[in-house]
Structure 1
Amino acid sequence: MKITKVKTFLCNCFRTNWVFVKIETDSGIHGWGEATLEYKEPTVAAAIHDLEYYLIGSDPGNIEKFRHDCYRDAYWRGGPVLMSALAGVETALWDIKGKALGVPVYELFGGKVRDAVPIYVNGWFAPAKTPDEFAEKALEVRRNRFLGCKWDPFGKAWQEIGKRELNSAMECVRKVSEAVGDDVLLLIEGHGRFNIPTAVKIGQRLEEFDIYWFEEPLPPDDLNGMREVKERVRVPLAAGERLYNRYEYRQFFDLNCSDYIQPDISHAGGLTEMRFLGAEAEARHIGFCPHNPSGPVANAATLQLAACVPNFVILEMMMTDVPFRADICDEDLVMRDGKMVIPERPGIGIDLDEKELLRHPFVPTQLRHYRGDLTNIRPPDAVKYYRIEGN
């Protein structure tokens, strides 16, 4: 079997643009990957096509050779663009191998340790602005029996936050906590906003609540600062979605920066690199909780990891998505008792419709975090894209 063609698709999905890659072969088997890199989508698509030199005419089964050679030859190593391009292609190659062998990809990584993975939801709050509006939205999380909900209550703060704004954020946490009761975990998102004293102040205020974690309290390039915050607060920390491979994670692990790590399969080199990171986290008794706010292919691939990584703790997903998600792919996702059931189809378990992808072309979008409209991340017509059983 030889690779004959590499295709990329940029599909607007309101919050950003999904970046999908399709690898075709002379056997008729094809594979899908996702390399969604928010706000740099055309750049990462171009980087994927730069990799055609290593792909066209090669055996898609030689995944390790592809990963090694592309990373070695990049010269300017690592970074989000290269690692996202590698992630999309590498996932598509595993998809091909699984389909060729007639097994889910998790079988190629040693088989399952679980049949379903616990879920926390993001995006459930859109477009809430006030603590009362967040609390009202949180009732839907409880009704659907999701195990956790994550949100950023800090408005458009950067580095520091005013007394009034901080008190409002804590009131938001309080009201959501009261709305969901003891049934739902609370995960507080920092989006890498704060300096050390502000992150510590917020972390200490959060000690009042039984929160599951405080995520990315500092910008991702200050690992020593993360370690200092971890030493000065008594709430668990989570971080790592903006680290892109095992080399960048080495210092993160050595400094013991967080209690949970959150690499993203669309950015951290793909399934194999993620498996390495999970194994290193397991050796250090750190929970493995991949970042997963992107599209259907990234979700499908991350579910394959959830099946086979022993220290996989909990998975992020968006509670709703664009209504045409059901048109562009054939995913069949089932939620049962707050957990996502691991699909059993060969490969990563999903196929996409090229014609439908082309109906939603690229639209430039910008980061919302510091504009004051962060919570407008779901379209008004957003819908659930999974089935809930057993509630």
Structure 2
Amino acid sequence: MKLGRIETFHVPPRWLFVRIESDDGAFGWGEASLEGHADAVDGALDAFRDRFIGQDARRIEDIWQVGYRGGFYRGGPVLMSALAGFEQALWDMKGRAFGMPAWEMLGGQVREKVRAYAWIGGDRPQEIAVAARARREQGFSAVKMNATAELDLLGTPKLFREVVERVRAAQAENMDVGLDFHGRVHKPMAKQLAKVLEPLDLLFIEEPLLAENTEGLVQISQMISTPIALGERLYSRWDFKPLLECGAVDIIQPDLSHAGGLLECRKIAAMTEVYDVAVAPHCPLGPLALAACLQLAACTPNVAIQEMSLGIHYNVGHDLLTFVTNREVLTPADGFLSIPTGPGLGVAIDEAAVREAHKDRHRWRNPIWRYQDGSFAEW
């Protein structure tokens, strides 16, 4: 099974799909979405064409090692996202060729379904009660929302009261709530806000500080009992190592389209298991990313819950299932997603629709926010 072709598709709203094909006509799909940086990832995949066309596509681990180490410069979001989408497609193709799901080749099944949560509230959280009620009516029992809009280095108790009121509004709809600080909150306010939120029994607080601030994360973890989740901006086992060693994080959130793909995230999860830390993969992305996450959930004991992007505020014009022909595979029921049993990643992509959408390729960029004084604010 020699690799014959690597194609990329800039699929709206903000996704980058990868399709590979072998010389004997086998094919596979993956997702290399890196929000706002699709062109850069596409460039990295172009380099993979030079290196891997003609290679044995079944040798996934060897291809990964060459893709990661063979260019001398390693890691980072662009290279690792390119490698992730390519690696997912290799698993999809191999699984289709052998007639088995990827999880069967990665050790076999440990669960039949995984709990899922959906987003509410948008970038600047609002109308929380209505949104939480809608998610409950869809069958979800858990939601995540941004804690706040942009925050200055220092704030007032009024801001904290507003966050608490939003959480209580969602909980009043019988929802468990995860709260995403989104890296917007600097340490002086993050400490205060985390402490104020502790009595609310949240599922977790996400990115109370960025991963590079391990000292601050340790301080916050010693102040509160609320689980701390983090990891969407980490891209390999080596990135996660110091985070686990500092002992400040309870839930890691690798993104299977950013952190090197399915097998790398399986290795990250195994490393995490040693520290008795849970895994909740980050996935505000497209259907192939979610399908890869479900392959991980199928064979990984410490996966706790799965993010999904159905109806997320970024999905303008196209939603999670737009390009999927077997939509039942990624449709939640009673707050859970079933483990796919089809070959490869288990999801069937409408190739014609993808090719048509690529003709009007997206150029998605995240917004740039500023404080009242005109200085840059984290989005």
SS of match in other structure, 1:328: coil
Is the contact made by 1:159 and 1:193 (CA closer than 8 Å) also made in structure 2? no
Counterpart of 1:295 (choices 278, 286, 291) is: 286
Structure 2 letter corresponding to 1:5? R
**1:202-249 deviation per Cα after TM superposition (whole angstroms, max 9, x unaligned):** 111101211110100112322222122111222111001100000111
| Residue of structure 2 in register with 1:101 after alignment | 98
For 1:197, the equivalent position in structure 2 comes to: 188
Q: Which amino acid aligns with 1:125?
A: G
Count matched residues: 364
Q: Tell me how far 1:12 sits from its aligned partner.
A: 1.6
Instruction: Show the 5 A alignment for 1:331-370.
Output: 331-332=326-327, 333-360=330-357, 361-368=360-367, 370=369
Q: What does residue range 1-391 of structure 1 map to in structure 2 within 5 Å?
A: 1-13=1-13, 17-122=14-119, 124-126=120-122, 130=126, 133-178=127-172, 180-181=173-174, 184-320=175-311, 321=315, 322-323=317-318, 326-332=321-327, 333-360=330-357, 361-368=360-367, 370=369
Answer yes or no: is the 8 Å Cα contact 2:123–2:146 preserved in 1. Answer: no
Q: 1:5 and 1:117, CA in 2 relative to 1: closer, same or farther beyond 3 A?
A: same
Return the offset for 1:161: 3.8
Residues 86 and 128 of structure 1: is their aligned pair in 2 closer, same or farther, counting only changes over 3 Å? closer
| Greater Cα offset, 348-357 or 43-52 | 348-357
Q: For each residue in 1:305-351, what CA deviation from the matched residue of structure 2 results, as whole angstroms up to 9, or x when unmatched?
A: 11110111000012325446545222432423211011111010123
Residue-by-residue CA offset, 1:104-151 (whole Å, 9 max, x unaligned): 0000011101111001111x3358854xx2112211122233121000
CA separation of 1:26 and 1:300: change in aligned 2, threshold 3 A: same
Q: CA RMSD in A?
A: 2.0
Q: Helix, strand or coil: the match of 2:205?
A: strand
**8 Å Cα contact 2:33/2:81 also seen in 1:** yes
**% same residue:** 36
CA distance in structure 2 between the aligned counterparts of 1:71 and 1:172, rounded to whole angstroms: 43
Kindly tell me: are residues 358 and 100 of structure 1, through their superposed partners in 2, closer, same or farther at Cα, counting changes over 3 Å? closer
Contact 2:310 2:319 (C-alpha < 8 Å) held by counterparts: no
TM-score between the two structures when normalised by the length of structure 2: 0.91
Deviations 1:159-215, CA, capped at 9 Å, x for gaps: 44444333222221122222x23xx21100100112222111011110121111010
Structure 2 unaligned segments of length 5 or more: list them: 372-379
Partner-residue secondary structure (3-state), 2:183: coil
Counterparts of 2:185 and 2:367, CA distance in 1: 16
